[in-house]
């Protein structure tokens, strides 16, 4: 008689992903109003104000939202009163999460977005957008760190990404 | 026989049968003999004569899963189908039922996947209903799991059990309840963490960005010592019957001790707690919110003997746990003007934000744990069957299976 020793199979603990797919809202050719969606992270206001100061002939709507939690319905509504919304800042785990998830809400509402995240968190931002079915969400990297920096130091970092923002906003055509 | 390298050489055709058996068998069954000759074998033994199933090697599986980032770094129990089936006796959910979709990865937390991770954590089958309930609780919108999982803040998820089931599974609510030493406390919290890593994708550096992490992320689970509580236990305070078994989840820092051996009045003792709690650097200081207070039974008795009710304690802490604004406004989010009064900030939004439970053994200690601020609310859910009817005993599931 032969005895066969069989090792039991082990099961996979990983989850399947809830598949979803959504389209990016296109940016219009003529932008006249931008909502600046500030999650009140340190220097998020400096980033958004620097963008505003360098964008001529544009009107701005200023909206504040929580950093580590979702924006309220009213805040989303106010941020939607523009041709596009620029969200800042994702420079930590929970704030990056809610910059991206609130940007997705706006995209769902038909408002195109640009999310600004520090380069230390941009990989996570892209992965998060991908897991929500919008892999090509517009995410702009700014050099980390932003918190604990002087406004002048932050302005230098913002100016490095201004050309990309202008490209996305098609402002160079004006 | 061993060769010079001490390697034992064996013939692939060797079956281990005694020569007497081989002769006997050959005489009895000529057909069989022919087959054996064709196969160049000595006897009719087949590999399937006797199949013995053995558990996979723990060390090997633990290492393999660790290298694939599927563990918390500690060894695991290999999740086999046999163990899965035993655990499924303690739920009326189908294995493919999706209990929740867990962010950031948007993983489907099916019943089967929750059980697999619980097995890996070392849970016994009777713990499965508690873990399932905890998964349901953390997926509530107000808990803000996307933020709690991804934050750079060291937010752990504390699980507090109340009611008969907590006693039935013998969770520790007494001496050493925050660990180590009890299988329920150690493995239920660990099971939730493995679910967060493997189902939600909260893997450190990938979906969990806690700057340094926290020892409380390995497991932070205990029962309330309801018999030591001079006031109402947590589930009753939150609207459930005292015979209802509940699971409360709360996003908190690791606990911090409050050592007070000398206070004899409620006010003195609560002042010690307040001065331990009212610190800058916690989320409560710049985004006031919930705050966990695990009061030791001896401290609870001192306060109750002084005639203080639970609401008196909550009110006193809310009114007096204050941080100067210049120290409070140093957190990640800008301190909102609404929380500032006379240059100071209360660390809670209201007395209800003081989540007070009684637990622990002898000794004059209390534990506090700051919350995740305004960004997360604790959730208390009752243990129920799939149809929402209450679970009175952990054995109810097994009894139901027998009836079916």
* Three-state DSSP state, A9: coil
HEC per residue, A47-86: HHHHHHHCCCCCEEEEEECCCCCCCCHHHHHHHCCCCEEE
The values of phi and psi at residue B388, to 5°, are 95, -5
Q: Which stretches of B217-290 are assigned E, i.e. beta strand?
A: 221-223, 246-252, 256-259
**Which residue from A78, A100, A84, A99 is spatially nearest to A33, judged by alpha carbons?**
A84
E strand or H helix that includes residue A128: helix A122-131
Q: What is the dihedral of CA B65, B67, B68, B71, to 10 degrees?
A: 50
Half-sphere exposure (Cβ direction) of B98: Cα atoms closer than 13 Å: 12
pLDDT digits (tens, 9 = 90+) for A48-96: 999 999 998 999 999 999 999 999 999 999 999 999 999 999 999 999 9
CB contact under 8 A, B49 and A3: yes
- Which chain A residues touch B152 with a CB distance below 8 Å? 92-94
CB contacts < 8 Å between A and B, how many?
177
This model of the complex carries an ipTM of: 0.94
Please give the residue of chain B at the shortest CA–CA distance from A67. B333
pLDDT, tens digit only, all 404 positions of chain B: 344 555 555 555 566 666 666 665 555 555 555 554 455 556 666 667 788 999 999 999 999 999 999 999 999 999 999 999 999 999 999 999 999 999 999 999 999 999 999 999 999 999 999 999 999 999 999 999 999 999 999 999 999 999 999 999 999 999 999 999 999 999 999 999 999 999 999 999 999 999 999 999 999 999 999 999 999 999 999 999 999 999 999 999 999 999 999 999 999 999 999 999 999 999 999 999 999 999 999 999 999 999 999 999 999 999 999 999 999 999 888 899 999 999 999 999 999 999 999 999 999 999 999 999 999 999 999 999 999 999 999 999 877 766 55
pTM above 0.90, yes or no: yes
Phi then psi dihedrals of residue A23, to 5 deg = -95, 145
Phi then psi for A50, rounded to 5 degrees? -65, -40
CA B56 to chain centre: 25
Q: Could you tell me if B175 lies within 8 Å of chain A, comparing CB atoms? A: no
Q: Does B151 touch chain A (CB under 8 A)?
A: yes
Q: Domain A33-173 is in which class? A: alpha beta
B198, A13: Cβ pair inside 8 Å? Answer: yes
Dig out the tokens for B248 from the structure. Answer: 């409360």
**What phi, psi does A156 have (nearest 5°)?**
-60, -40
């Amino acid at each position: 008689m032969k005895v066969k020793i069989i090792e039991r199979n082990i099961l996979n603990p990983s989850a399947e992903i809830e598949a979803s797919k959504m389209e990016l809202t296109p940016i219009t050719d003529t932008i006249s109003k931008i909502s600046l969606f500030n999650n009140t992270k340190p220097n998020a206001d400096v980033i958004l104000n620097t963008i505003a100061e360098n964008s001529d002939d544009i009107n701005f709507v200023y909206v504040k939202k929580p950093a580590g939690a979702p924006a309220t319905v009213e805040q989303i509504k106010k941020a939607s009163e523009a041709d596009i919304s620029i969200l800042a800042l994702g420079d930590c785990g929970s704030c990056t999460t809610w910059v991206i998830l609130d940007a997705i809400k706006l995209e769902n509402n038909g408002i195109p977005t640009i999310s600004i995240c520090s380069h230390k968190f941009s990989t996570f931002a892209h992965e998060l957008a991908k897991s929500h079915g919008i892999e090509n969400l517009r995410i702009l990297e700014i050099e980390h760190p932003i918190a604990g920096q002087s406004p002048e130091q932050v302005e230098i970092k913002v100016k490095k990404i201004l050309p990309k923002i202008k490209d996305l906003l098609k402002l160079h055509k004006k | 026989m061993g060769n010079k390298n001490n390697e034992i050489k064996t013939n692939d055709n060797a079956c281990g049968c005694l020569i007497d058996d081989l002769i006997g068998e050959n005489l009895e069954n000529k057909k069989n003999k022919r087959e054996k000759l064709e196969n160049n074998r000595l006897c009719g033994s087949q590999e399937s004569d006797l199949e013995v199933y053995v558990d996979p090697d723990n060390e090997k599986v633990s290492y393999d899963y660790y290298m694939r980032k599927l563990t918390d770094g500690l060894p695991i129990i290999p999740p086999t189908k046999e163990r899965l089936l035993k655990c499924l006796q303690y739920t009326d959910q189908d294995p493919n039922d999706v209990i929740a979709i867990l962010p950031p990865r948007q993983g489907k937390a099916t019943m089967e996947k929750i059980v697999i991770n619980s097995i890996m954590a070392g849970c016994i089958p009777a713990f499965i209903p508690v873990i399932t309930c905890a998964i349901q609780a953390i997926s509530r919108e107000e808990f803000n799991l996307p933020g709690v999982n991804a934050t750079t803040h060291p937010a752990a998820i504390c699980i507090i059990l109340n009611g008969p089931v907590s006693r039935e599974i013998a969770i520790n609510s007494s001496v050493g309840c925050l660990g180590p030493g009890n299988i329920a406390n150690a493995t239920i919290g660990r099971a939730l963490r493995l679910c967060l890593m493997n189902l939600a994708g909260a893997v450190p550096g990938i979906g969990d960005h806690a700057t340094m992490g926290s020892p409380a992320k390995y497991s932070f689970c205990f029962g309330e010592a309801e018999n030591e509580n001079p006031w109402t236990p947590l589930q009753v305070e939150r609207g459930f019957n005292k015979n209802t078994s509940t699971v409360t989840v709360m996003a908190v820092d690791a606990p911090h001790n409050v050592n007070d051996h000398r206070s004899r009045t409620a006010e003195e003792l609560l002042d010690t707690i307040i001065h331990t709690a009212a610190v800058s650097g916690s989320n409560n200081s710049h985004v006031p919110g919930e705050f966990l207070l695990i009061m030791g039974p001896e401290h609870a008795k001192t306060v109750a003997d002084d005639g203080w009710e639970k609401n008196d304690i909550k009110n006193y802490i809310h009114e007096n746990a204050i941080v100067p604004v210049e120290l409070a406004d140093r957190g990640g989010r800008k301190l909102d003007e609404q929380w500032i009064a006379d240059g100071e900030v209360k660390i809670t939004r209201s007395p209800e934000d003081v989540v007070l439970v009684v637990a622990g053994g002898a000794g004059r200690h209390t534990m506090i744990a700051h919350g995740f601020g305004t960004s997360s609310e604790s959730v208390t859910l009752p243990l129920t069957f799939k149809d929402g009817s209450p679970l009175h005993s952990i054995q109810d599931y097994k009894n139901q299976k027998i009836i079916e």
